[in-house]
């Protein structure tokens, strides 16, 4: 979809709050604003860049906008307009639909020019950006004693608002460190003195440690993909009849082996196996207590794609042209972890504590990081990062419900060699062992226990608990609850959304779907989120 740039004056009905300021930058939460018919003036150089627009089954158009200043993105400045008006351009909307009912959500900022005026010319040059990148890279490599190759260098000038609401010119800097477990260190640094405002690793992982096991190991028991009796369905593969070679791939999913330079996994298959009436690879790549991670990866990928398509009529992932993307599942990475990165899913072979990480719920979790990345693009730190992790945990439960009709409300139980799980949606603080308090290297389940230093896997407990409460409410189930979260992710959440605004988005999503919004409000309140100010 073509991205176009629109001047803020064309958004007068929505963004009157950008009128010429007399004070420093101010955060405007559109979830707290009523829709008013307001003046059509706003100061340049504030603009909005259209990121995407979609139309749903209710004929509502949803337009995502990125706030910019002098053409540079404003970090966290995003809005979504929801209207039934025909909007070929935002200017048309402003001129012809000034009385048209619509809603909006997100966060924008006014008064940026007060803080940003008088910036040195050097910060707008490529040389200054290169100096900032080189300094941050050097400091990172020295601190982490990294000697591996660094790829995908990136630096971008933007506007960043600090914790006190002051606007600064800053650079978004990132690079990829190629190691056993890839890392994508990401920084926001001051464009003048290079001091660091924020930093995080933008590789989405299941856990900071490696995990193992996926659909068929000594803990779950040996599974069979042959559709006989209570066995799992037969796998969809491709076969070369001349070479008598079967490929563990189909139009939806491809499985690659990291041990042999990401080669496609294959096996010889001259005839069908008489016992199973299928071409049979037996325990093709058994390792560390798992019988065939490649088979399990193929099965999981197909279930995940089918769930999103059957329930929501959308592909879980799309390519740049908007076409459905084939899932790439990489197995046998020599790590105890699983991660989503660069449009592909990688599963470790586990080790002492974990079976190979190829399980249905782990795959659902990781692939759904990609779904989030292509919609709300939740930033992987602070509360948005906790929500990012929580959505993937919700997806893991949704995939489980889609496949089996039930839920364990646990994450990682199938892959840990112990009797524990990595996380618990019904009782997130259950991972607080040895007398630890919530938030002390373990999960929280209430907003009151949140602090900015929490790992996103622990802060995810707030929305994980909310999802469990909603799923088990009267007249609700896992699918209905996930319906709400998927719509909120696609339509209402913005990349830096906090837990309160995310709950507001879920309430609006429930209303859109004709579900009882009070159930969402009640679940939110139980986890310490007050939604009384949502509009």
> 461-471 and 499-512 are packed helices; what angle lies between their axes, rounded to 10 degrees?
20
For residues 360 and 380, what is the distance between their CA atoms, to the nearest angstrom? 23
Residue 225 reports pLDDT greater than 80: yes
148: enclosing H helix or E strand: none
- Active-site position among 62, 82, 369, 457: 457
Q: What is the pLDDT of residues 480-525, one digit of tens each?
A: 999 999 999 999 999 999 999 999 999 999 999 999 999 999 999 9
pLDDT 10s digits, 44-60: 577 888 888 888 888 88
Mean per-residue pLDDT of the chain: 85
DSSP letter at 298 equals H
pLDDT at 372 over 80: yes
pLDDT higher than 50, residue 436: yes
276 noted as active-site residue = no
Res. 429 pLDDT band, cuts 50 70 90:
very high
pLDDT confidence tier of residue 213, bands split at 50, 70 and 90: very low
337, 205 Cβ separation under 8 angstroms: yes
Residue 261 confidence (pLDDT) above 60: yes
Per-residue pLDDT reduced to its tens digit, 381-403: 999 999 999 999 999 999 999 99
pLDDT of 140 above 50? yes
Instruction: From the candidates 366, 373, 389, 410, give the one annotated as an active-site residue.
Output: 366
More confident residue, 201 or 350: 350
Strand partners, 74: 159
Closest CA to 383 of 459, 492, 458, 440: 459
- DSSP secondary structure letters along 371-434: HHHTTT---SSHHHHHHHHHHHHHHHHHHHHHHHS----EESTTTBSSS--SEESSSGGGG--T
Residue 457 known to be catalytic: yes
- Helix and strand totals (H; E) in the chain: 11, 21
Partnered with residue 232 across adjacent β-strands are 225
């Amino acid at each position: 979809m073509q991205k176009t740039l629109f001047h803020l004056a064309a958004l007068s009905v929505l963004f009157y709050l950008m009128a010429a300021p007399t004070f420093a930058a101010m955060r405007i939460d559109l979830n707290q604003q009523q829709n008013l018919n307001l003046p059509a003036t706003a100061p340049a150089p504030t603009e909005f860049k259209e990121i995407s627009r979609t139309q749903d089954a209710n004929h509502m158009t949803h337009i995502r906008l990125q706030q910019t200043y002098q053409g540079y993105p404003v970090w966290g400045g995003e809005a979504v307009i929801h209207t039934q008006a025909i909007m070929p351009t935002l200017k048309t909307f402003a001129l012809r639909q000034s009385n048209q009912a619509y809603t909006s959500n997100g966060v924008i900022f006014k008064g940026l020019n007060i803080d940003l005026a008088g910036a040195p010319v050097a910060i707008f040059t490529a040389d200054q950006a290169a100096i900032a990148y080189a300094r941050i890279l050097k400091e990172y490599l020295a601190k982490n004693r990294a000697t591996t190759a660094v790829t995908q260098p990136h630096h971008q000038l933007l506007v960043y608002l600090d914790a006190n609401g002051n606007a600064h010119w800053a650079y978004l800097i990132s690079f990829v460190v190629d190691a056993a477990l890839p890392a994508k260190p990401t920084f926001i640094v001051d464009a003048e003195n290079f001091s660091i405002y924020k930093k995080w690793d933008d590789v989405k992982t299941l856990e900071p440690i490696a995990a193992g096991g996926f659909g068929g190991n000594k803990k779950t028991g040996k599974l069979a993909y042959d559709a006989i009796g209570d066995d799992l369905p037969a796998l969809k593969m491709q076969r070369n009849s001349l070479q008598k070679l079967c490929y563990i791939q189909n139009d939806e999913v491809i499985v690659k082996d990291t041990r042999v330079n990401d080669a496609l996994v294959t096996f010889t298959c001259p005839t069908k196996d008489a016992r199973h009436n299928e071409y049979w690879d037996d325990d093709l790549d058994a390792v560390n207590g798992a019988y065939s991670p490649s088979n399990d990866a193929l099965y999981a990928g197909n279930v995940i794609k089918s769930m999103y398509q059957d329930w929501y009529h959308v592909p879980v992932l799309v390519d740049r042209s908007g076409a459905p993307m084939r899932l790439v599942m990489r197995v046998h990475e020599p790590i105890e972890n699983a991660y989503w990165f660069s449009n592909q899913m990688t599963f470790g072979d586990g080790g002492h504590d974990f079976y190979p990480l190829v399980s249905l719920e782990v795959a659902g979790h990781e692939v759904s990081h990609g779904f989030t990345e292509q919609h709300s693009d939740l930033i992987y730190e602070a509360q948005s990062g906790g929500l990012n992790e929580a959505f993937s945990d919700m997806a893991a439960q949704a995939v489980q419900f889609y496949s089996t009709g039930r839920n364990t409300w646990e994450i990682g139980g199938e892959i840990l060699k112990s009797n524990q799980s990595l996380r618990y949606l019904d009782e997130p603080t259950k991972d607080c062992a040895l007398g630890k308090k919530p938030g002390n290297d373990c999960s929280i389940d209430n907003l009151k226990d949140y602090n900015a230093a929490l790992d996103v896997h622990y802060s995810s407990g707030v929305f994980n608990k909310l999802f469990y409460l909603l799923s088990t409410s009267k007249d609700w189930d896992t699918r209905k609850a996930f319906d709400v979260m998927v719509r909120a992710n696609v339509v209402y959440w913005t990349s830096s959304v906090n837990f309160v605004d995310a709950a507001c988005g879920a309430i609006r999503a429930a209303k859109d779907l004709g579900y009882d919004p009070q159930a969402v409000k009640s679940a939110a309140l139980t986890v310490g989120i007050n939604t009384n100010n949502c509009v």
